[in-house]
A = this chain, B = another copy of it.
């Protein structure tokens, strides 16, 4: 039974998940955590399988929630930079913990003998 938990009915895990879930959102955030600022096409090159449409959509949603900021330079051809906000950086420990858990999960599945 252990250490007391949050009341499930008041829990905001779903709120957090609603914001970081999206086929490409964690990937985008991780790239921006590494590089801090990236242009649209630079991101696209780093995530080869994403389409332009999807990259735009996911970035717009991340911007909407304040995790990423978008700066347009009125030049031609266009220049648009995406930067992770200080607020977005607060997700880093969570992403890191999920990565570790996911890695352990994969290892566990590959050696089904593990009991625990």
Contact = CB atoms under 8 A, between A and B. Distances in A.
Interface string A21-36: 1000011001101111
A interface majority secondary structure: helix
A75 interface: no
Interface in A1-44: 1-2, 4-6, 8, 11-17, 19-21, 26-27, 30-31, 33-36
A70 to B, nearest CB: 17
Interface residues of A, number: 49
Nearest to A23: B14
A8 B30 contact: yes
A8 B26 CA distance: 9
